[in-house]
Amino acid sequence: MRIAIGIEYDGRAYRGWQSQPGGNTVQDVLERALSRMAGEPIRVHAAGRTDTGVHATMQVAHFDTQADRPITAWVRGVNTFLPAEIAICWAREVDDTFHARFSATARHYRYLLLNHPVRSALLAGKVGWHHAPLDMARMQAAARLLIGEHDFSSFRSSECQAKSPVKTLTRCDIAHAQGLYTIDLSAGGFLHHMVRNLMGTLIHIGKGAAEPAWMGELLAARDRTMAPPTFMPDGLYFAGVSYPDRFAIASEPSFRHYLV
β-bridge mates for residue 238, sequence order: 56, 109
Which amino acid is located at 3 in the chain?
I
Are 171 and 110 a contacting pair, CB within 8 Å?
Answer: no
Alpha-carbon 144 to chain mean position: 20
Residue 13 burial (CB count, 10 A): 15
| Exposure letters 145-166 (e unless 16+ CB within 10 A, then b) | bbeeebebbbbbbeebeeeebe
Are 78 and 33 a contacting pair, CB within 8 Å?
Answer: yes
Q: Does 135 participate in catalysis according to the annotation?
A: no
What DSSP designation does 69 have?
-
What DSSP designation does 66 have?
-
CA torsion through residues 190, 255, 242, 138, sign: negative
Catalytically annotated residue among 10, 51, 184, 234: 51
Between β-strands 106-115 and 128-130, what pairing exists: parallel, antiparallel or unpaired? parallel
β-bridge mates for residue 94, sequence order: 2
Instruction: Give catalytic residues, as residue numbers.
Output: 51
